[in-house]
Structure 1
Amino acid sequence: MGSSSTTFLLFLLSLATLTLSQLNDVYFQHDCSDTSGNYTANSPYETNLNTIISRFATLTDFNYGFFNLSAGQSPDKVYSIALCRGDTNQDACNTCLNYTATELKQFCSRNKAATAWSQFCLVRYANRDLYGQLENDPRTCAFNPMNASNPDQFNQTLNELLNELSAEAAAGGPLRKYAAGNATVGSSQTVYATMQCTPDMDEQNCSTCLNFAINEYQSRCSTRLGCRVLRPNCVLRFETNQFYNQTAVPLPSPPPSPTTSPSPTASFSPTSPPTSMASLEFPAFGFVFALFLTLSSMLLLN
C-alpha cells in the first residue's frame, strides 16, 4: 500500500475512538495563496517543504499542540505553524498534523503558502515567518443550515458564552490559549462552544482575533444552530451537541514571564467578508466505516 493510503488509514483509526456525533463533523478546509508565488518541482523550496511535512510524521514532543517549524535557508526557507485543538491528546494531534500537512501539499501543489483547517488541527506554511503575526486572511465560515427556533434567546445566550470563553482563551499562557464551555438556552437546549488562538499571539492580539471571529459569526451565522469561524490565528466553533472532550492534557505550572518582545499588534478591520460555505457536516460514520473496511482489506492483501 502507498504511504498516502497508510497515512489516511491511521487517520481513520484515530477516528475510531470518537463518538458518533464527533464522527459526523469530519471536515477538511484549505486555502492556497495566490499572492506568495509558486515553486517548481524538485526545487530547493519543495525539498524544504517536504522536510517540514516529514517532521509532522515523526514528532515526539507534544509541545501542548503548538509547533513553530522552519527548514532551509533564504530565499528557499519554509516556515510553518501548526496548532492542535486544545482537547486533543498527542496521538490524535500527531495523526491530524501528518494527514493535514500531506493533504494540504496535494491540494495546493506548487503554492508557496497555504493553510488548512482540519478536524483537530490547523496547519500553515509560507515563504515568510508566520510566528507572532496577527493576520486577517485567509478565513472562512462553515455553518449548520438549521436555524434556532428561539433566535433572540439563543443568540443572547451564545453571545454571553462566547464573550466569557474569548476572555478565558486570550488570558491563556504561552503554551495554550483555549477555552471550552456550554450554556443552557431556555429550559431544554444546550449550546457548546470552543475558542482558541495560536499561543504565539499575546493576550491583546488573541482577543482581537477572537473578537473578529465573534463579529463574523454574528454577521454570517446568526441564528444558526452551529458554526465554525476559521482564521489564520484563531478558531471559533459552537454546536448544540458536545463536540469536544471535557478534559484536556493538563498544563504545567506557569513558567516565568517570557523576556522576548510581544508579538506586534496589528490594526485592521475585516472589510471583506470571509468565504462562506454551507455546513460541512455529513453522515460520516458510514463513509468512514466503508473507507476503513476498504483500506483494511488492502492492508491484508499486501
Structure 2
Amino acid sequence: MRSLKSKAASGDSTFKFHAGYKIIGDESETIVYGLAQCSPDLSRRDCDACLGNAISKIPDCCENKIGGRVIKFSCTLRFEREKEAYPNRSPYETNLNTLLSKITPKTIVDNGFYSSEYGQAPNIVHVRGLCRGDVNPITCWNCLNYAKTLLPKVCPNQKEAFGYYDFCTFQYASRPLLGYLDPEFAYSFNNPQNATDKKEFTSALNDLMQRLKSEAASADSNFKLSVGSKIADESETVYGLVQCLPDLSRPDCNACLEKVISDIPLCCKNKIAGRVIKLSCNLRFERGRF
C-alpha cells in the first residue's frame, strides 16, 4: 500500500490513482491486489497525507483479513486476495453478460429487490440487487443499471463482485446468493467530524439502532427496512436507516444487523455520520436528514 500511496500522490491533477499487486510467499501461491486513489483536487502532499492516514487504519478494521477498504472523504484504498477468475470469452463470461443484459426496469420488483441466475453448472451465474427502501423506481433502476455496468469493469474477470452505492447494492457470483450470510465481509466509512456531546450522541445512536434493528428484522419478507431518528441533545438529532435483503430470515436479518451495529465503535466512534455495509445488510446514520 505504501508503494501505491506514493504513486497515486505523484499523479497529475486529473488522475491521482494507482493499482498494483504483490506476490506473497516463496512459491508465489498468494497474490494481493491493491488500489489507492485521491480526489484530483488534492495537492501531492495532501493526497500523500490522506492515504497515509488511511493505511494507518488498516490494522483497526482489517487486521489479518484477506480483503478490506478504508474510505475517507478525499481518498480511499482497497486490497483483496486473488479470487476465482474466469478467462476472456469463456462460458462464464458469456453467461454473466447474458444475465446482466436481462436486468431491465421491467424486471425490478416493486420492493427494489432483484434476484436471478443464468447458465448451467459449473458456469452458472447468480445475481442479486437491492435498492434503498425509500427511493423511487427510477432512482432504483438508475443505480442498479450503473452497478451492473460498472462492476465488470472495476472487477475484470472476477467470478464474484459486490458494489455498494448510495441507493443500492449489487452482487454477482458463481455460488448461490439467496439467504447467504458472509461472516467476514464488511466495510465502513465515516464523517470525521465528532459529535458535540459525544456521550449523549452515542447513547442516542445505540438506542436508535437497536430499535431499527428489531423493526427491520420483524418486517415482512418483502421489505426489511426501518428508518427513524432520536434526539441526542438540544443541538443534535441522529437519523438512521437499517436494511436487510428480503430473502433473509428474521433470525439471519437480526444477526446481520447486530454485527454491523457492533462495528460502529470500530469505524465511527463519536462521529456524526457513518455507514457499515455487509453483503446482506447495511446501516447508515447521520446528524442530518439524508
Determine if the TM-score, normalized by the shorter chain, exceeds 0.5.
yes
Residues 276 and 284 of structure 2 are in contact (CA less than 8 Å); yes or no, is this contact kept in structure 1? yes
The structure whose RCO (Cα within 8 Å, separation 6+) is larger is 1
Residues 228 and 241 of structure 2 are in contact (CA less than 8 Å); yes or no, is this contact kept in structure 1? yes
Q: Identify the match of residue 174 of structure 1 among 206, 209, 221.
A: 221
CA-based RMSD: 2.2
Q: Which range moved further: 44-53 or 76-85? A: 44-53
Q: How does 1:86-105 map to 2 (within 5 A)?
A: 86-105=133-152
Q: Identify the match of residue 206 of structure 1 among 218, 242, 253.
A: 253
Query: Displacement, 1:32?
Result: 8.9
**Residue equivalent to 1:240:** 287
**Residue equivalent to 1:129:** 176
Q: Identify the match of residue 231 of structure 2 among 166, 175, 184.
A: 184
Tell me, what secondary structure is at the counterpart of 1:237? Answer: strand
Q: Unaligned regions of 5+ residues in structure 2, if any?
A: 1-72
Residues 209 and 233 of structure 1 are in contact (CA less than 8 Å); yes or no, is this contact kept in structure 2? yes
Give the letter aligned to residue 133 of structure 1: Y
Moved over 4 A (4+): 29-36
**TM-score when normalising by structure 2:** 0.71
**Residue equivalent to 2:211:** 164
Residues 32 and 108 of structure 1 are in contact (CA less than 8 Å); yes or no, is this contact kept in structure 2? no
**Aligned: 1:151 with 2:214:** no
Query: Quick one: distance in 2 between partners of 1:149 and 1:32?
Result: 34
Residues 115 and 124 of structure 1 are in contact (CA less than 8 Å); yes or no, is this contact kept in structure 2? yes
Residues 128 and 172 of structure 2 are in contact (CA less than 8 Å); yes or no, is this contact kept in structure 1? yes
Change (3 A) 1:32 1:202: farther
Tell me, what secondary structure is at the counterpart of 1:56? Answer: coil
**Residue equivalent to 1:83:** 130
Q: How does 1:214-233 map to 2 (within 5 A)?
A: 214-233=261-280
**Residue equivalent to 2:97:** 50
Query: Quick one: distance in 2 between partners of 1:110 and 1:213?
Result: 29
Q: How does 1:279-294 map to 2 (within 5 A)?
A: none
**TM-score when normalising by structure 1:** 0.68
Per-residue CA deviation, residues 79-100 of structure 1 (Å, 9 max, x unaligned), is 0111100101111111100101
The count of aligned residue pairs is 218
Change (3 A) 1:79 1:30: farther
**Residue equivalent to 1:15:** none
Q: Which range moved further: 106-115 or 31-40? A: 31-40
Give the letter aligned to residue 276 of structure 2: V
Larger proportion of strand:
2
